[in-house]
Chains A and B, each alone.
Chain A
Amino acid sequence: GDSVTQMEGPVTLSEEAFLTINCTYTATGYPSLFWYVQYPGEGLQLLLKATKADDKGSNKGFEATYRKETTSFHLEKGSVQVSDSAVYFCALSGQGAQKLVFGQGTRLTINP
Chain B
Amino acid sequence: DADVTQTPRNRITKTGKRIMLECSQTKGHDRMYWYRQDPGLGLRLIYYSFDVKDINKGEISDGYSVSRQAQAKFSLSLESAIPNQTALYFCATGTSGLNEQFFGPGTRLTVL
Contacts and interface: CB of A to CB of B under 8 A. Distances in A.
Given A43-B105, A99-B48, A93 B99 contact: yes
A104 interface: yes
Chain B, interface residues (CB within 8 Å), range? 20 to 34
- In terms of DSSP, what is the predominant structure of the interface of chain A? strand
Chain A, interface residues (CB within 8 Å), range? 20 to 34
Nearest to A106: B42
Nearest to B98: A98
A44 interface: yes
A112 B72 CA distance: 42
Given A43-B4, A43-B90, 12 more contacts: A32-B99, A34-B100, A43-B104, A45-B103, A46-B101, A89-B42, A93-B100, A98-B96, A99-B45, A100-B43, A104-B41, A105-B42
Interface of A: 4, 32, 34, 36, 42-46, 49, 51, 89, 93, 98-100, 102-105
27 contacts: A34-B100, A42-B105, A42-B106, A43-B90, A43-B103, A43-B104, A43-B106, A44-B92, A46-B102, A49-B100, A89-B42, A89-B43, A93-B99, A93-B100, A98-B31, A98-B50, A98-B94, A98-B96, A99-B33, A99-B45, A99-B48, A100-B33, A100-B45, A100-B92, A102-B43, A103-B42, A104-B42
